[in-house]
Amino acid sequence: MRYEFSQELTSKAKEIAESLGMGHIEMERIACVKSKGSKSRRTIARIHTIGKVMQLGMQEKPFYTIELLSEKFDRQSIEEQTKTIIHELMHIPAGFKGGFRQHKPFVTGKKVEEMFKTLQEKSKYT
């Protein structure tokens, strides 16, 4: 696997989070990386964080990294890429303490679609 930090996608994720009112996300504590070489068949993206023990040991606050698998993510349309980023951002809980929200009931296709529509509506007027 090879990983590369993406300033463009990090900025996009921050813009999406701000536009959708995800005020619980500390924007300076998220980043996006693109990976190449995954053998995963169905995964397009995943979100990572440092475990709580490591956070305490390093005396660091939580940090979330969205990994976008180039082989799948790059083939998506811009709309689908945006939905993928929304999906991963939705895994970040309101407390921003280093945990994750589960798919059901928090992160579902229906909820991603609703947030995407909200984002589209906001971008029409901004």
For residue 67, what is the domain's CATH number? 3.30.2010
Paired strand residues for 82: none
Q: Specify the pTM.
A: 0.92
CA distance 34 to 10: 10
Single-letter amino acid, residue 14: K
Please list the pLDDT of the chain residue by residue as tens digits (126 residues).
Answer: 999 999 999 999 999 999 999 999 999 999 999 999 988 888 999 999 988 899 999 999 999 999 999 999 999 999 999 999 999 999 999 988 888 888 888 898 999 999 999 999 887 644
Q: Containing domain of residue 55, as a range?
A: 2-124
Instruction: Check residue 94 and report its DSSP letter.
Output: T
Can you read off the two tokens belonging to residue 67? 């990994």
Q: How many domains does the chain have?
A: 1
- Please identify which residue in the block is written with the tokens 């980023």: 85
| Burial zone of 33 (CB within 10 Å; 0-12 exposed, 13-18 middle, 19+ buried) | middle
Q: Rg (Cα) of the chain, in Å, rounded?
A: 14
